[in-house]
Amino acid sequence: MRLLFLGDMVGKTGRTAVWDRLPGLVSDLKLDFVIVNGENAAGGFGITEDIFLETINAGADVVTTGNHVWDQKDAVAFAGRHDQFLRPANYPQGTPGRGSGLFYARSGARVLVANIMGRVFMHPELDDPFKSAEAILDACPLKEQADAIIFDFHAEATSEKQCFGHFVDGRASFVVGTHTHVPTADHQILNGGTAYMSDAGMCGDYDSSLGMDKEEPLNRFISKMPKGRMEAATGPATICGVGVEISDSTGLAEKIAPLRIGPRLSETIPEFWR
């Protein structure tokens, strides 16, 4: 199975770049399943129902989120209406929406996708992410109820991300980090066969501060005083993500490589998909 994960869409420039390029990527790379993190898609803060639906229409099978999931007021209302929209699974019981789901790839494979949020340097501090993941894996084990299992681990600390990867190694197909908006160079297959990358990066303008116009965050670092609102940068976007090939027989990863398309970072498409 060929799976593509795209990192956090940031603002209009990030989401429109994904919408423009994703249909061609699905076709040209013969993708079986696509996941996109959309928690910063609406002006850099949260996501609206219209943006979610447009992302699905462009070819995403699931949209994940993170700590900004509720920044747009209508998210609470629409979260429960769409199975393909995921908020972190370790929110307390009774939170609107769902944190994981079983979906079908274009190949017919059963794909479990779970959105988990870390706790180190994160706000709000949610329930234990490791216990939440254990409950999800117990309910839907790899190669029993699911042919592939993917975790979007939305967290700040790379140590927490790496430990989470080792925690589910051999029991999940792929663990990918989101939230920091900077693509890491540690894509690998762990000892037990789980593909791992600490952060997929963002889909947004990299002439920025994490996708936001750089003037206001730079001012706040220098003066310690806000001058205005944080605004999403509007320059040309670079699409960042990661591609994984998953064995149909074992549900574990066989190949992993970053995908980057755009003006700022060195462009790369996984060689095994060319």
Query: Of the listed 68, 154, 179, 187, which one is catalytic?
Result: 68
Please check whether residue 72 is in contact with residue 46, taking contact to mean a CB–CB distance below 8 angstroms.
yes
Report pTM: 0.98
- d(C-alpha 39, C-alpha 214), whole Å: 20
- d(C-alpha 171, C-alpha 209), whole Å: 36
Q: Which two tokens stand for residue 105?
A: 């790839």
Per-residue pLDDT of the chain (274 residues; tens, 9 = 90+): 999 999 999 999 999 999 999 999 999 999 999 999 999 999 999 999 999 999 999 999 999 999 999 999 999 999 999 999 999 999 999 999 999 999 999 999 999 999 999 999 999 999 999 999 999 999 999 999 999 999 999 999 999 999 999 999 999 999 999 999 999 999 999 999 999 999 999 999 999 999 999 999 999 999 999 999 999 999 999 999 999 999 999 999 999 999 999 999 999 999 888 7
Instruction: Indicate the burial class of 89 (C-beta count within 10 angstroms; 0-12, 13-18, 19 or more).
Output: buried
User: Rounded to an integer, what is the distance from CA 182 to the centroid of its chain?
Assistant: 12
Residue 248 has a pLDDT of 97
Number of H helices, E strands in the chain: 6, 13
- Considering the domain delimited by 2-210+237-273, tell me its CATH architecture: 4-Layer Sandwich (3.60)
Residue 166: partners with Cβ closer than 8 Å, 6 or more residues away: 190
Residue 274 has a pLDDT of 74
Please check whether residue 25 is in contact with residue 35, taking contact to mean a CB–CB distance below 8 angstroms.
no
Residue 42: partners with Cβ closer than 8 Å, 6 or more residues away: 11, 48, 51, 71, 72
Q: Which two tokens stand for residue 45?
A: 């803060």
Please check whether residue 177 is in contact with residue 200, taking contact to mean a CB–CB distance below 8 angstroms.
yes
Residue 273 has a pLDDT of 84
Residue 83: partners with Cβ closer than 8 Å, 6 or more residues away: 98, 101, 103
The total of other beta-carbon atoms located within 10 Å of residue 144's CB is 9
What residues does each domain of the chain span?
2-210+237-273
Please check whether residue 259 is in contact with residue 266, taking contact to mean a CB–CB distance below 8 angstroms.
no
Residue 36: partners with Cβ closer than 8 Å, 6 or more residues away: 5, 6, 9, 18, 22, 55, 60, 62, 63, 64, 203
179 is known as an active-site residue = no
